[in-house]
Structure 1
């Protein structure tokens, strides 16, 4: 089955590209309407932004994620200095899962309030006493969310990661558990909840973090 992904944004010739995955029931256009591309332009960064419309697609949609790799990430990495993968909410969870299943396919991760997984999956880890004490069983690893948490036990140290969320986010405690798997310099918080009023300021912090140069 060949899946043709719908994208928003026209990649130019900037040396860097960020491919952003929207959250659940969020259209790719919303990322541009919220001012993400404008924030890049205001800083004159050598960065292109491309949003991929994957509404309603879950972690097990192999055709879609193969298409993301084959149609976008692989060819863009062949012509640029760097390609980052990012996501908002569920898109952040999927971005991590994509990289966990395909090590080395991107140059960095930008995670804005990444959904930390459903309560049943998180409960498995909490009952074990936390991710460091959890020893996944074969049954656990049939759950795609728990396969991601297995990756989070030891995420690659050489992969640049930016992760940020609102301090009043309804998932804040569990997002922080994800953030704590990465270095302190990767973790950022702002005022706000699980909404654009927090995501845009976090995005602006990401753009000002110095990842992209001409």
Structure 2
């Protein structure tokens, strides 16, 4: 199973309309794709991370041999936060244009001289952007990671920072911005990497 988290202002229906499920079916992959909607939990992602584990990933592990997690934009940030914060186990991660956080946070990291020199105030730990970068100070669990984004993405500078913290990930860029013109080719490239078997 791959649980793919939608981005902000995106619903699972948008992901279906964009062709994510069709691409899986066309390749006859032995893969169940699920797109849950966790946006109702608000800006602080603590509750969303708990629900993701309890309502989706834990039950999936009881039914499937391998469970992957992924997401687009804010959904990618939540998926990476799940892995970096050790909220549960998974077998791989698919990040399409993962949102790296606001420029206030990423600029503060740059001004500090890099992530390991950056020390955010304790009162900022309610900010999901700050929590993600704090978790990224510790090496990630060893699972396959695919990360891709558009070369003209307006958030590309933050994604480049994220890429430095994911040195063993497969990094892919394509022409395009923060939209389906980039995300769908990235999705196709991810599926073509043969992480999942073909139905026989």
Asked if Structure 1 and Structure 2 have the same fold, meaning a TM-score greater than 0.5 normalized by the shorter chain, the answer is yes
Q: Structure 2 regions of 5+ residues with no counterpart?
A: none
> In proportion to residue count, which structure has more strand?
1
Structure 1 residues 167 and 111, CA, compared in 2 at 3 Å: closer, same or farther?
A: same
Q: Which residue of 2 aligns with 1:150?
A: 134
The 10-residue stretch of structure 1 (172-181 or 58-67) with the greater mean CA deviation from structure 2: 58-67
1:120 is the counterpart of 2:104: yes
> In proportion to residue count, which structure has more helix?
2
| d(CA) in 2 for partners of 1:78, 1:46 | 17
Q: Which residue of 2 aligns with 1:13?
A: none
Deviation at 1:212, TM superposition (A): 1.2
3-state SS of paired residue (1:78)? helix
CA-atom RMSD in angstroms: 1.9
The 10-residue stretch of structure 1 (127-136 or 28-37) with the greater mean CA deviation from structure 2: 127-136
Deviation at 1:211, TM superposition (A): 1.3
The answer to whether the Cα contact below 8 Å between 2:53 and 2:87 also exists between their aligned partners in 1 is: no
Q: Structure 1 regions of 5+ residues with no counterpart?
A: 1-16
Q: Which residue of 1 aligns with 2:164?
A: 180
Structure 1 residues 56 and 116, CA, compared in 2 at 3 Å: closer, same or farther?
A: farther
| d(CA) in 2 for partners of 1:194, 1:122 | 18
Q: Which residue of 2 aligns with 1:106?
A: 90
Deviation at 1:56, TM superposition (A): 5.4
Instruction: Report how many aligned residue pairs link the two structures.
Output: 198
Structure 1 residues 73 and 189, CA, compared in 2 at 3 Å: closer, same or farther?
A: same
Paired residues for 1:87-102 under 5 Å:
87-102=71-86
1:71 is the counterpart of 2:48: no
| d(CA) in 1 for partners of 2:195, 2:168 | 16
Structure 1 residues 58 and 102, CA, compared in 2 at 3 Å: closer, same or farther?
A: farther
